[in-house]
Structure 1
Amino acid sequence: MGMPSVMVLPLLIVFAAGAYYIYNEVMQFMSKSVVRNKVVVITDAVSGLGAECAQLFHKAGARLILCGTNWDKLESLYESLTTDADPSETFAPKLVILDFSDMDSMEDVVAEVMECYGYVDTLICNSSMKLKAPVQSVSLELDRNIMDINYFGPSTLAKGLLPTMISRRSGHIVLVSSIQGKLAVPFRSSYAASKHAAQAFFDCLRAEVEEYGIIVSTISHTFINASDPPPVVEPAPKTNALLEYINNQLTHGVRPPVLANEIMQTVNRKRKEVVLAHPIPRVALYLRSLFPPFLFAVLAAGVKDSVLAEQMQ
């Protein structure tokens, strides 16, 4: 006797859900096996995303080198990782002070990182400085500071670690970037410029080092949402509806655990480019390439509406 047709769809859904669960479990296991015993450098390890990555890679058995600007916070992270950890399964992390705003210290930082194990398997460039302001209000000093932290710092560190990767013909460099490295929106000129520069640098680097077996990955995401959902507020003056919707999507952030897991999967699968964004930002990326005048008009109209709304308040 045949199966009733009404049962086919629910069974297919259950089967697909089961297959997806098994696939994720297998990929999680493979990710852990790939990074075990590997030397992994994480910059800005004390940030929300950095700490999530540190937890994930530590549990997977990686030999971590954790970098940050604050020694007390690094020690606190060290304690959280090593407390109750199994020494037969994990390695105690090594700590290095790294401040991308102090470019004069980069040579010493590279030397200190190399002294830890003599080589690096994976570099995760996670540091970032954000800014939202009109172009005319941003000083040249602030422009340079953002470029140091978001561009010159990661590129200099990557270049410093590159010679040993080339000599070993192995390595993986991961740039945790932003979708604004591909799509610029108003009032984020310095931030978007630094992310565009970093994106271009690591795209070029990817092609140059492929012959040495070195993988270069970029992960472009919407902003990292590490805070609790904001409280309900009074509705703001009505603005351009389409731009408001796009901005809401652009600022609908990704949670640190989700992004950390994506970084682990990127290292495991050796992906070269990942875009972690909702549909609207993805559509905006296509509009930027295929119909730029339309996107420019929407963004410009949104700026005019936001100025008008401020004047009405």
Structure 2
Amino acid sequence: MVFPSVMALPLLIVLAAGLYYIYNEVMQYMSKSLVRNKVVVITDAVSGVGNCAHLFHKGGARLILCGDNWDKLESLYDSLINEADPSEQTFAPKLVILDFSDMESMEDVTTEMVDSYGCVDVLICNSSMKLKAPVQSISLELDRNIMDINYFGPTTLTKILPTMIPRRSGHIILVNSIQGRLAVPFRAASKHAVQAFFDCLRAEVEEYGITVSTISHTFIDSTVPSSPEKHASKPNSLAAVANQLAHGVRPSVLADEIMRTVNRKRKEVVLSHPIPRVAVHLRSLLPSFLFAVLGAGVKDSVLAEQ
């Protein structure tokens, strides 16, 4: 019996889809085992980016959930406890009030984090403040407030390093906007500054076996409620890419990427559609061209307002 050559392509597609499915299932299983019993701190667990708390909790991590609203933290706590699978071992999260606008409390907060379990294995810095305004209209007080939240807050939390260095292990992750890699007009430069800090920190602590990662994403689209249990598409699928082009990054997709970064210890991740990626490369290769494009965009926006 001669095998029809016309059937070769469909069979290859089915085989590739099957292998891809098996790969995803294996990676999902491994992701749970790799974070089991790890002490994971999430600095803003009540935000859309904090969706990763559900993934880490199901994976058996010892969570320390931070936020500036106690009621929201308790609501998240109840949600995690209620959705826990009784057949799998999970740990009740610990809750910590964290307000980056109150820098005087930061020393007590870091002490409380470390005292919860005696150490921290993974620190996820995902707190940030957004601002869009011309430089001349921003007061010095607001500038300082933004720097406290977007820069001094995450950098202060890295002072838990003395608990990681003796164990020669640990992972610090900065979840930052793409603006950290590409200065955008009318946006605060604080995210650019914190990106540089974490790049420096990565080189400093590498000899101690500590991993420092940065995840640079476009805007977070939380218009449609997204649950980690119900993904409309796989993170690497064409549908997810198309979704980013039209709507930015879904919290569930970013949560998957945070988990993947922890498991694979990736040092730098860019989660965006092609246009910001091209702009990042133009900043290094053709800066004059990029500056001209940004300047033209500012003029157009001013004319539109007038």
TM-score (norm 1): 0.88
Give the distance between the partners of 2:298 and 2:47, measured in 1 at CA: 32
Gaps of 5+ in 1: 230-248
3-state SS, counterpart of residue 205 of structure 2: helix
Greater than 3 Å deviation, 4+ residue runs: 249-252
Cα separation, 2, equivalents of 1:256 and 1:136: 33
What amino acid does structure 2 have at the position aligned with 1:4?
P
CA distance in 1, matches of 2:133, 2:85: 47
SS of 2:165's equivalent?
helix
Q: Tell me whether 91-100 or 76-85 shows the greater mean CA deviation.
A: 76-85
2:213 aligns with one of 199, 211, 217: 217
Q: Once the 2 structures are TM-superposed, how far is the Cα of residue 3 of structure 1 from its aligned partner?
A: 3.0
Asked if 1:254 is matched to 2:249, the reply is yes
Deviation per CA, 1:197-249: give whole Å up to 9, x if none.
111111111111111111111001111111149xxxxxxxxxxxxxxxxxxx8
Residue 267 of structure 2 corresponds to: 272
Residue number in structure 2 paired with 1:67: 66
Where do 5+ consecutive residues of structure 2 fail to align? 226-243
Quote the Cα distance in structure 2 between the aligned partners of 1:42 and 1:142: 25
Whole-angstrom CA distance in 1 between matches of 2:111 and 2:221? 34
State whether structure 2 residue 197 is matched by structure 1 residue 201. yes
1:139-158 equivalences in 2 (<5 Å): 139-158=139-158
Matches within 5 A, 1:80-119: 80-86=79-85, 89-119=89-119
The whole-number CA distance in structure 1 between the counterparts of 2:186 and 2:11 is 50
Aligned length: 287
How many Å separate the matches in 2 of 1:252 and 1:129? 20
CA-CA distance at 1:22 after TM superposition: 1.3
- Kindly provide the amino acid, as one letter, of the partner of residue 209 in structure 1: V
Specify the code of the residue in structure 2 equivalent to 1:60. G
Structure 1 residue 282 and structure 2 residue 277: aligned? yes
Residue 298 of structure 1 aligns to a residue whose secondary structure is helix
Measured after TM superposition, the shift of residue 2 of structure 1 is 4.1
- TM-score between both structures, scaled by the size of structure 2: 0.90
Contact 1:171 1:214 in 2 (8 A): yes
Please give the secondary structure, in 2, of the residue aligned with 1:167.
coil
- Using the alignment, how far apart are the partners of 1:2 and 1:292 within structure 2? 60
Structure-2 residue corresponding to 1:20: 20
Q: Distance in 2 between matches of 1:36 and 1:220?
A: 26
Distance 1:250 1:209 in 2: 36
CA apart distance, 1:8: 2.0
Q: Counterparts of 2:250 and 2:83 in 1: how far apart (Å)?
A: 26
Percent identity reads 82
Quote the Cα distance in structure 2 between the aligned partners of 1:157 and 1:210: 18
Structure 2: distance between partners of 1:274 and 1:205: 16
Amino acid of the structure 1 residue aligned with 2:143: D
Q: Which amino acid aligns with 2:153?
A: G
Q: Sort the Cα spacing of 1:197 and 1:2 in 2 relative to 1 into closer, same or farther, 3 A.
A: farther
- 1:226 maps to which of 222, 229, 237: 222
Q: 1:222 touches 1:251 (CA, 8 Å); kept in 2?
A: no
